[in-house]
Amino acid sequence: MSDVQQRDYDGKVAVVTGAASGIGRSLAVQLAERGATLALSDIDDVRLKETAELCRVDHGSTVSTSVLDVADRAAFQKYADGVQAEAGKVNMVFNNAGVALGADVVDMSWEDFDWLMGINFGGVVNGSKAFLPHLIASGDGYLVNTSSVFGLIGIPSQSAYNAAKFGVRGFTEALRQEMKISRYPVSVTCVHPGGVKTNIVHNARGVSEMGDSATIASMFDKIAQSTPERAAATILKGMDKKKPRVLIGADARGFDMVARVVGPRYQDVAAPLTRAGYAIARRRGVIR
């Protein structure tokens, strides 16, 4: 029998960014099921309120919501201090908000690059810095930062996304060690989802330049191996074990294995395979 016990969420205050949909919404609902008090944020106010209502009506949770651009450092700091002042403590922070961009480096605009990095990397850094003093003060803090399978291996047309997610991984792994060195009461986990059936591709920039957006998004939904509900459950299970790294889906575990076993030579194999895949997709009219 495993000696790992489920964390006590009852009465704990959990902060979730990107809570309007996808993994963020599923995290909010499952945290509500476990009795947590929720502070939810997103840029999408309408869907954010839907998530809050699910948590309140179905699970009787205490929920606060805020429209937040995670790339806005000053706004994030104000939000963090506001949550602490209102709730009196912060026990868990899930830096989950993210966006996507499809573009080769030679074609990518600086505007799109800065947009993605500001949210996917800057948002994680902003959230970690803003909430870390409150997590330490709680005496029982937990920080969960969302990277990606693309934080394990490089993918063509995903240079900006790779840069952000590799950055999240390095930042989070370093921060975890700092917490241990200083003996602060904060556990830290980096999450690497594989394909998850969310709206991230539907809302991505650059997809329309590559081909028909609806077709590409539909293809992603077909190959994505995980659901947001399963992803959220995997994250919480990883927290129960205080795992430094959580891989979500068989594809994430596969990419992790390739990176470990093959090393950087995977690029020499992946490039011609990707070129062949592009050719097939063009012939079928999926991409231009």
Q: Please identify every residue annotated as catalytic.
A: 161
Neighbours of 65 (CB within 10 A): 20
Give the whole-angstrom CA distance, residue 116 versus residue 102.
11
Q: Dihedrals φ, ψ of 109, to 5°?
A: -85, 150
What DSSP element (H or E) covers 93?
strand 92-95
> Is residue 204 a contact partner of residue 156, using CB atoms and an 8 Å limit?
no
In this structure, are strands 37-42 and 63-67 parallel, antiparallel, or unpaired?
parallel
Give the whole-angstrom CA distance, residue 249 versus residue 202.
20
Q: Is 32 helix (H, G, I), strand (E, B) or coil?
A: helix
